[in-house]
Structure 1
Amino acid sequence: MIKFDAVSKRYPNGTTAVDDLSLDLPEGGVTVLVGSSGCGKTTTLRMVNRMVEPTSGTISVGGRDVLEADAAELRRGIGYVIQQSGLFPHRTVLDNIATVPLLLGWGRRKARARAAELLELVGLPADTGKRYPHQLSGGQQQRVGVARALAADPPVLLMDEPFGAVDPVVRTQLQNELLRLQEELRKTVVFVTHDIDEAVRLGDRIAVFRTGGRLVQCAEPAELLARPADDFVADFLGAERGLKLLSLTTLADVPHAPGRAIRADEPVGAIGRDGGRWRLVTSPRGEPLGWLDTDALPAGGTAGEAELAGVRPLRDTDSLLSALNEAVSSPAGAVARVTADGVLTGVTSRDAIHDRAGRSHADAARAAAPATPTAPATRTAATQTAAETPHEPAAEGPTPDDPAPEAPAAAERPA
């Protein structure tokens, strides 16, 4: 959908912002550009809508060379979200969202109707449309910024560190909202961030740039984490890249046993000691309430009235990293598994989670390992760029023949 072909951006003072970039960004996917400050990721994004003009090379969107398009017309057909939302302070939220449709010649009624529709889409109440930007929280302003970028239903959405100025809790909520919107709308998204955790969570592909505007590696998150192209990428990903890899794997295929749960209304005198020391207590409906220590039962009352250790039930869609964290903190060394409605389906042991964690690393390394071609292979420009720096596979993690690695240190079981 978006193609960079030998694109460079050099300034008159001799600074190179982007150096000979060749990269294909697939249609309907989220490509995240990451790297340290001054590596050219924002310049790369801004060249797509010609906020920055390239010095050489070609950039095409949907097969059309952006340099041959009228700049104003091009920008109206590309959504653009920046860190501080960029809303017009003197206009209401509804009129802010309707900006691009009005510029495209939509009637005022149609444009405002579209704006009201998008308010609901990004999770804001209808009465927000009557307010002004200064009356909104930072997170709400960013949602309005996303709504404005989507107003004319553009095929391409550029997002330049859109969630960088909000607190961590709101940032997670906005990331969830973007994932939900992308599942529904399937835009071609170019997303810039300096946060590798955000990149791993949101990206279908991640492009890593080094200072001087050179692309080092572009790959799917699992491949990037399992086999960084060189030491620069490995250092950028951080020492905990193994844990980040586990955040990409869900609990769906990790087995669980039925478990011997105790209903909250069951008298403690009727509770046997043959089901292990720690027993899960559930509501009459089957929702996990906490872990009961059968070695410290009260003299009377029900299981629900006893002191319970906390439990955080997980669903099949939760990550293996979440499961490891819960298994470590659980006094039973196990995870309660529930349906989408929160009803207990069973319990997964810590050993089963550790085993799946080891296989997850081995699977990712196997998928990322280059195949031995029987004939000369044709590589894309992006692949050629990522492969410019040789690396030693033996130093980068498990191979298919390696024994399953132990779980990362942060998730080790307590003594």
Structure 2
Amino acid sequence: MIRFDAVSKRFPNGTTAVHDLTLELPEGGITVLVGSSGCGKTTTLRMINRMVEPTSGTVRLGGRDVLEQDAAELRRGIGYVIQQSGLFPHRTVLDNIATVPLLLGWGRRKARTRAAELLETVGLTAEAGKRYPHQLSGGQQQRVGVARALAADPPVLLMDEPFGAVDPVVRTQLQDELLRLQKELNKTIAFVTHDIDEAVRLGDRIAVFRTGGHLVQCASPAELLARPADGFVADFLGAERELKLLSLTTLAEVPVERARVVREGEPAPRADGGPYLVVSAGNEPLGWLDPEPGGSGVPVPVRALRDTDSLLAALNESIASPTGLIARVDAKGVLTGVTARETIHEHAGRNHREAAKGAAEAAAPLGAGTGALGAATGAGPTPGGAV
């Protein structure tokens, strides 16, 4: 969908922002451009919609050179989201979202109908559409920015550090929302960030740039983490890159065991060797209860995980759990069972060994890498636990 062929950008002061870049961004995927400040990632992004024009080389969108297209028309066919949303302060949220459809001549009623649909798509209420940007939280403003970029249903979405100005909790929520939307809409997304954790979480492919606009490596998150091209990439990924590999594996691979449960409001169980999980009438986990003598009798709050959560999240939660167990729930929050800390550690170690093996094979003179992150073997989750 998007291709850079030997593209360079040099500014009049002699600065080279992008150097001889050849890169392809696959259709329907999220390609993350990552690197430190001044490495050329934003300049690269802006050359796609001609906010910056290349000094040499060719940028093609859908097989066509972007320089051969009218700049205004090109931009109206590309969604663009920036940090701090860039909303028009004098327009309501609904009218902000309707901006591009109105420019394309949709008509006010059709444009506002589309805007109202997108409010729901990005998780905002109809009431929010009547407000002005300053009346929304930072996270809500970013959701509006995404909705505005999607308003004319463009095939391409450019996102320049869109979540960089919000707090970590909201940032995670926005990342989840983007992944959900991408699963539904299947856009071609170019995403700029300086945060490697965000890149690993969101990207189908990650392009790492170094200062001076040099592309060092472009690969899947798993391949990048297991086999960095050189010391620069390894340093940028950080000392915990092996742990980051665990964020690419989901808890679905780890077996579920039966849970010992007690209903909320029922008498405390006998002290017969093990903690119980207090559940609601709807089988939602509420807390751990220790029936042993000396226990407080008050349930300790529990943070339940789903199969879609990462193995890294499960590892962290198992360490924090007072019982050494994590509670597992389905998409509706209903208990499916528990998993022991030892089981999670075993699967984490297996993934680490598989990744190390893949890296060693890739480094061998005649070896061919078999994949950056081997899938853990073993039995899949057992059917619902004793709930």
Task: Give the TM-score of the pair, scaled to structure 1.
Answer: 0.83
In structure 1, what is the equivalent of residue 119 of structure 2? 119
Q: Partners in 1 of 2:80 and 2:152 — Cα distance?
A: 12
Deviates more, 1:80-89 or 1:16-25: 80-89
Following superposition, the deviation at residue 181 of structure 1 comes to 0.9
Following superposition, the deviation at residue 77 of structure 1 comes to 0.7
Aligned-residue CA RMSD (Å): 2.4
Following superposition, the deviation at residue 101 of structure 1 comes to 1.2
In structure 2, what is the equivalent of residue 345 of structure 1? 336
Read off the aligned partner of 1:319 and give its amino acid letter: S
In structure 2, what is the equivalent of residue 278 of structure 1? 275
SS at match of 2:113: helix
Following superposition, the deviation at residue 297 of structure 1 comes to 5.5
1:41–1:213 CA contact under 8 A, matched in 2: yes
In structure 2, what is the equivalent of residue 302 of structure 1? none
Q: Which whole-Å deviations, capped at 9, do the CAs of 1:94-117 have from their partners, x for residues lacking one? A: 222111111112112111111111
Q: Partners in 1 of 2:210 and 2:132 — Cα distance?
A: 40
Q: Partners in 2 of 1:264 and 1:8 — Cα distance?
A: 65
Could you say if the C-alpha distance between residues 326 and 5 of structure 1 is closer, same or farther in structure 2, counting changes exceeding 3 Å?
same
In structure 2, what is the equivalent of residue 261 of structure 1? 261
2:2–2:27 CA contact under 8 A, matched in 1: yes
Map 1:296-375 → 2, pairs under 5 A: 296=293, 306-366=297-357, 370=362
In structure 2, what is the equivalent of residue 109 of structure 1? 109
In structure 2, what is the equivalent of residue 290 of structure 1? 287
In structure 2, what is the equivalent of residue 32 of structure 1? 32
Following superposition, the deviation at residue 309 of structure 1 comes to 2.6
Q: Partners in 2 of 1:235 and 1:364 — Cα distance?
A: 18
1:242 maps onto 2:242 in alignment = yes
Q: Partners in 1 of 2:319 and 2:285 — Cα distance?
A: 18
Deviates more, 1:276-285 or 1:340-349: 276-285
Q: Which whole-Å deviations, capped at 9, do the CAs of 1:148-188 have from their partners, x for residues lacking one? A: 11111110000001111112222112111111111110100
Following superposition, the deviation at residue 52 of structure 1 comes to 0.4
Map 1:373-388 → 2, pairs under 5 A: none
Following superposition, the deviation at residue 306 of structure 1 comes to 2.1
1:362–1:399 CA contact under 8 A, matched in 2: no
1:205–1:220 CA contact under 8 A, matched in 2: yes
2:351–2:373 CA contact under 8 A, matched in 1: no
In structure 2, what is the equivalent of residue 186 of structure 1? 186
1:139 maps onto 2:139 in alignment = yes
Q: Partners in 2 of 1:191 and 1:167 — Cα distance?
A: 19
Read off the aligned partner of 2:270 and give its amino acid letter: I
Structure showing greater radius of gyration is 1
Following superposition, the deviation at residue 364 of structure 1 comes to 3.6
2:314–2:326 CA contact under 8 A, matched in 1: yes
Following superposition, the deviation at residue 58 of structure 1 comes to 0.7
SS at match of 1:124: coil
Deviates more, 1:156-165 or 1:130-139: 130-139
Q: Which whole-Å deviations, capped at 9, do the CAs of 1:267-314 have from their partners, x for residues lacking one? A: 34x6142xx34333333543323222233257xxxxxx9222332222
SS at match of 1:164: coil
Read off the aligned partner of 1:334 and give its amino acid letter: L
Could you say if the C-alpha distance between residues 284 and 296 of structure 1 is closer, same or farther in structure 2, counting changes exceeding 3 Å?
farther
1:223–1:367 CA contact under 8 A, matched in 2: no
Map 1:47-196 → 2, pairs under 5 A: 47-196=47-196
Could you say if the C-alpha distance between residues 344 and 127 of structure 1 is closer, same or farther in structure 2, counting changes exceeding 3 Å?
closer
SS at match of 2:173: helix
Q: Partners in 2 of 1:70 and 1:234 — Cα distance?
A: 41
Could you say if the C-alpha distance between residues 217 and 266 of structure 1 is closer, same or farther in structure 2, counting changes exceeding 3 Å?
same
Could you say if the C-alpha distance between residues 86 and 344 of structure 1 is closer, same or farther in structure 2, counting changes exceeding 3 Å?
closer
Q: Partners in 1 of 2:129 and 2:338 — Cα distance?
A: 46
Provide structure 2 residue ranges, at least 5 long, that are not aligned to the other structure: 375-387
The 4+ residue runs of structure 1 with deviation greater than 4 A are 365-369, 371-374
Task: Give the TM-score of the pair, scaled to structure 2.
Answer: 0.89
* Identity among equivalent pairs (%): 77
Read off the aligned partner of 1:347 and give its amino acid letter: V
